Amino acid sequence: MSEYPLYEVFVRSKHGLNHKHVGSVHAIDDAMAMENARELYTRRCEGVSIWVVPSKMITASALDDKEALFDPSQDKIYRHASFYELPDEVGHM
């Protein structure tokens, strides 16, 4: 099986929700990846739609970049609604 490429599997559990990563399968081509994903991850109405993506096609952020990528959001607290104080009289906004 190892010579079969790895695919990542994403399932949309209900209409209106995002596809979510659920795991991976080995398959020799896209069609087989779809069949394997169906058999393995949706035996009990777990979803309404499946995506299969060759794992090697995914570019992931590197762990070392964590600070560079995500820390700045911590400095920009004015991007959050809770930063702005409004008098109670204004009510819910």
Partner 1 sequence: MYAQLVETGVKKVKSIDEMNKDESEFQAKIDAEIKIEAKNWMPDAYRKTLIRQISQHAHSEIVGMLPEGNWLTRAPTLKRKLQLLAKIQDEAGHGLYLYSAMETLGADRDTEIEKLHSGKAKYSSIFNYPTLNWTDMGAIGWLVDGAAIVNQVVLQRTSYGPYSRAMVRICKEESFHQRQGYEILLTIMRHGTKAQKAMVQDSINRLWWPSLMMFGPTDDDSPNSKQSLAWKIKRKSNDELRQMFIDQTIPQLEFLGCTVPDPDLKWNEETGHYDFGNIDWDEFYAVLKGNGPCNQERLAKRKNAIDQGAWVREAAVAYANKHKIEAI
- Interface residues with partner 1 (CB under 8 A) are 1-4, 6, 22-26, 28-29, 32, 39-40, 43-44, 60, 62-63
Q: Which is nearer to partner 1, 31 or 48 (CB)?
A: 31
Q: What DSSP string runs through 23-51?
A: EEEE-SSHHHHHHHHHHHH-TTS--SEEE
Smallest separation, CB 92 to partner 1 (Å):
35
Q: Which is nearer to partner 1, 60 or 93 (CB)?
A: 60
Give the SS3 label for residue 53: strand
